Structures are given as structure tokens and as C-alpha cells.
Amino acid sequence: MRCVCAADFCSLSFQRPVAPICGKDCLFDGVNAVNKSNKIFVAGHSGMVGSAVLRRLEAEGFGNIVMRARAQLDLTDESAVAKFFAKEKPDIVVVAAAKVGGIKANNEHPVEFLLENLRIQNNIIHSAHESGVRKLLFLGSSCIYPKFAPQPIPETALLGGPLEPTNEAYAIGKIAGIKLCQAYGREYGANFISAMPTNLYGPNDNFDLETSHVLAALLRKAHEAKLRKDQKLIVWGTGKPRREFLHVDDCASACLLLLEKYDSPEIINIGCGEDISIRELAELICDVVGFNGDLAWDTTKPDGTPRKLLDVTKLRDLGWKPAIPLREGIARTYEWFRVNCV
Ligand code: GFB
């Protein structure tokens, strides 16, 4: 069925027998519209993405937010999750809980990345359906796309070729989550949407050098190299791969827009539409941190996907754009790191 706004610019179609909205100045208000009194469960609220979504929800005046610390609710525990949903009966769910990590952690622990993510998302998505959740936002990752996907990567590239081996297990887990959301939509009419953020960074990022992503790792390395007055900073790989970096607060603003205005089972990318090489990123970080030594390349470490730039046309067509330029975002994150991690 077509979006009921029936406006010329709207090309969305839906499989559910309810009236959806496209979000682009639709004439229709939408039966699925999220309102500020809705009970919203943010799964993974203490992680980088979950905490950013929480900040944004609070800033926008959402006052009925449910959270559970890991010690209170183990999301890999099927019966505990089922009991939690049956008792709380949230209206809206954001699935920001996941086992995440950088290239090294993904490459070395495929079992944990696959199993833990499958467990968490299966439990949440299934219980959300059982307890009558009205809308669910599942967060995936840009690594779900084939290693050699066309650039920038359109949503239609999903399952079009082999994955990048260093993060295949994690990617398969996330693809399973997308497909489960779509299956609940197709079979039961659930409004479970999936968004694919690009490489994110910001407050509450993981700065552990073994398990972090590149931006957080290089911030720590540059900071420590500056303090030690080192001559060199060691960067993994060749420096040639290109990545797109989005501040997590921008990702959170996109998530809210999708909750309010996007009701399609088709996946949607979240990114800024620009990428840089790892070498350029390392130089930028050294500049922001004030480390003046040289870069040295550890080519025993993997490069991973050669390029990962998302096509963000769909999201921009909904009226969203990022607000935090990369240099400013790095400076803000460096400040956060200095206050909270050293
Ligand atoms: O951010 P990152 O760990 O993950 O690495 P991916 C990106 C690039 O930065 C790779 C290089 O080419 C790394 O070799 N790099 C250079 C470094 N120095 C460092 C360093 O000190 N630490 C790290 N971590 N990288 C991840 C996936 O892929 O992307 C996950 O493994 C997830 O599944 C995430 O999807 C978004 O961008 O290669």
C-alpha cells in the first residue's frame, strides 16, 4: 500500500494494513506517530549510541523512558527479557544494545560477536512483538554491506556480494536482525524498522586500544604519545582505507526523526555522506590533540574494507542533515576523553 499522504514526492510503500507516513511534510498525521507520553525502552542506554539516544529523547521532552542496567536485566537471557516486556509493556523500543568492537576484536572473536548479538536482538525483537510494542527501531551497521559494494553504498546493496572477512560474523548477526524485523512486519504487520549507521564516535565511546574502533583508538594513542613526547605514533594497516565518521549525537537525532517519521520495513542508512582515509584521519587527530611526531604504519594489522561510504539520499530526503563537522566532533570527543578517561 502506498503512503497515504499521496503527495507526488512520496515514493514510500508499505506492506502493513495500517496508514503509514513518509515523513516529508505529509498531509497525514499517521496512526503510528510517536508522541511524548509514549513509554520508550532504550535497550543499551549506557553504551555510546544508547546514551546519545537517551540524551536526545530527554532534550526533546520525552518523559516516559524505561532503562535497565546490565546488572538488572541480562538481554541475552530469553526469559528475563520476556518477563521485563510483559511487565513494562513499552510502546516504543530502540535496540541500541549490541556487542560491538573494532576490527581487531571482530576479527579475533567472531563467535562472541555472532552469538551475543543474535541472542540480544532475538530476545528483544520477539518479546517486543509478544508484548504489543507499537514501533521498534533496530540499529545495524554499515558493515552489513558487501566488501566491494558500490560507493556510496545504497541500501539496495544488502546481500549483493561477499562480506568483509574481519567482521563477517558481526555483519551476519546484524543482517539476521534486519531480516527478523522485516519478517515480523510481513507476517504480523509489526512496525519494526532498521537503520544502518556508519562508523560512529563520540562520548561514551570505547577507548580500549585492543577493542576500540579507529577514531577512539587514535585519540588515545595521540594523547598518550604527546604526554610521553614520543617521536612516533603507530597506526594500524596501510592508512589507505576510507571511512565515513558520524558523531553519535547526529546519529541520535537521525534516530529520533526515524522514530517519528519513518515507517518502512526497508532499511535506511545513517551517515554524513563524506569519507576520509585513515591517514587523513590520523593527521587530523594528531592536529586536534597537538601531537607533532610522525605516523608509523603497522601493516601486520588488517585494513578491512577498502571503503565504506553510505548513500544517505533516503535519510536526507526525509529532511535530516548532520550538525557536527568532523573536526569539531573530534575536538569535543577529545575533551570528553580527557575529562572521563584519564
Ligand atoms: O574502526 P575500525 O576498527 O573498524 O578500523 P572497521 C578502521 C580502519 O582503521 C582499519 C585502521 O583499516 C584499521 O586497520 N586503524 C588504524 C585502526 N589504526 C587503528 C587502531 O589503532 N585501532 C583500530 N581499531 N583501527 C568495524 C567492524 O570495521 O566497523 C565492526 O569491525 C563495525 O564490525 C564497525 O561494523 C563500524 O571500520 O574496519
Annotated catalytic residue within 145, 170, 201, 262: 170
341 falls within a domain: no
**What residues have CB less than 8 Å from 168, skipping those under 6 apart?**
110
Read off the pLDDT of each residue in 152-156 and give the average, rounded to a whole number.
98
Q: Are 279 and 218 in contact (CB under 8 A)?
A: no
Residue whose C-alpha cell reads 537521525 in the numeric block: 254
Mutate to test the pocket of ligand 1, among 213, 251, 309 (most ligand atoms within 8 A of CB): 213
Structural domains of the chain, count: 1
CA distances from 107 to 119, 125, 300 (A): 20, 27, 13
Would you place residue 32 in the very low, low, confident or very high pLDDT band (cuts 50, 70, 90)? low
Q: Are 200 and 48 in contact (CB under 8 A)?
A: yes
To test the pocket of ligand 1, the residue of 103, 113, 172, 232 to mutate (highest count of ligand atoms within 8 Å of its CB) is 103
The CATH number of the domain holding residue 12 is 3.40.50.720
213 within a domain of the structure (yes/no): no
227 in any annotated domain? no
CA distance between the termini of the chain: 54
Q: What is the pLDDT of residue 35?
A: 87
Closest C-alpha to ligand 1, atom 30: 102
Strand partners, 196: 269
- Exposed (0-12), middle (13-18) or buried (19+): which is 37, by Cβ within 10 Å? exposed
3-class state of residue 195 by DSSP: strand
Cis peptide before 197, with omega less than 30 degrees from 0?
Answer: no
**pTM: predicted TM-score of the whole model, two decimal places:** 0.92
Residue 218 lies in a domain: no
| Residue 64, domain extent | 8-204+245-274+309-325
Residues with Cβ within 8 Å of 132's Cβ and at least 6 positions away in sequence, in order, are 89
Is position 300 within any domain? no
Strand 276-277: give its sheet, edge to edge: 276-277, 242-243, 307-308
Nearest CA to ligand 1 atom 6: 103
Residue 27 above 80 pLDDT? no
Residue 184 falls in the annotated catalytic set: no
Ligand 1 pocket: which of 48, 236, 297 to mutate (most atoms <8 Å of CB)?
Answer: 236
Model confidence pLDDT, tens digit, residues 220-241: 999 999 999 999 999 999 999 9
DSSP code string of 212-261? S-HHHHHHHHHHHHHHHT-SEEEEES-S--EE-EEEHHHHHHHHHHHHHH
At residue 17, does pLDDT exceed 90? no
In a domain, 340, yes or no: no
pLDDT tens per residue across span 241-287: 999 999 999 999 999 999 999 999 999 999 999 999 999 999 999 99
Closest by Cα among 85, 26, 38, 36 to 59:
36
Ligand 1 pocket residues where CB is under 6 Å: 102-104, 106, 141, 143, 166-167, 170, 199, 212-214, 217-218, 235-237, 241, 243, 278, 301-305
pLDDT band at 288 (very low <50, low <70, confident <90, very high): very high
What's the mean per-residue pLDDT of the chain?
92
Q: What is the mean pLDDT of residues 195-224?
A: 98
Q: Which atom of ligand 1 is nearest to the CA of 304?
A: 38
Going by C-beta distance under 8 Å and a sequence separation of 6 or more, which residues neighbour residue 287? none
What's the confidence (pLDDT) of residue 78? 98
Would you say residue 215 lies in a domain?
A: no
Q: Using alpha carbons, list the distances in angstroms from residue 23 to 29, 133, 261, 319.
A: 9, 21, 4, 8
Whether residue 291 lies inside any domain: the answer is no
